[in-house]
Homo-oligomer: A and B are copies of this chain.
Amino acid sequence: MTTIKDLSEEMPSFPGRAIKFANFNVTSQVFHVTPHSFALVNLKPLLPGHILVSPLRVVPRLSDLSAAETTDLFLTTTKLQRTLARVYKAEAFNVAVQDGQAAGQSVPHVHVHVIPRKSGDGGEGDKVHEWLEGEEGDVGAHQRQAVERQRAKEEWVKDEDRKPRSKEVMEAEAKWLREEIEKDEKSSAGRL
């Protein structure tokens, strides 16, 4: 397993550093890359630390993945949960795949939602999943809006309830998570 900054050395066949989430270039949101998977921070996290884990290969459905890709996707997910639990003080997680359009999938590229939870976080009852299935969780729409805003060099809408985050904010979070994952990788290597 490797973090993205080592990518050029360790995965020479990887196409530069441009990572695609469906047809979106999400490179600045990516904080972890493995042989088959990558993890990205969200434009509009439903709760702090809400991340997505995807296969590097752009395919829409879990059934499109090889056994190696499926294995890497979920081992990466559970590995990242360890760091997220620590840095976001999470007591629990919602781990969810909307596998196909009829299940609410908004981007035709497999992605595992990983949402850190704690008591009193406001996501109790049906809230987190209500968000996930509603406009708030429409990852595709958020990415499209970000592209449009970037094209139009538009100001962020100030009075929007839950503003999409700027590239700088996401890059800072991605950098922080990369560093925290490295700490966990070092400490688990030390235990072997």
Q: Which residues of A are at the interface with B, using a C-beta cutoff of 8 A?
A: 62-63, 65, 67, 70-71, 73-75, 78, 81-82, 85, 90-105, 115, 117-119, 121, 124-130, 132-134
Contact = CB atoms under 8 A, between A and B. Distances in A.
A77 to B, nearest CB: 8
A94 B98 contact: yes
Contacts of A124: 104
Contacts of A85: 63
28 contacts: A62-B93, A63-B82, A65-B78, A71-B71, A71-B74, A73-B74, A81-B99, A92-B98, A92-B99, A92-B100, A92-B101, A92-B105, A93-B97, A94-B97, A94-B104, A95-B97, A96-B97, A102-B117, A103-B117, A104-B124, A104-B125, A125-B134, A126-B126, A126-B133, A126-B134, A128-B129, A128-B133, A129-B129
Contacts of A100: 91-93, 117
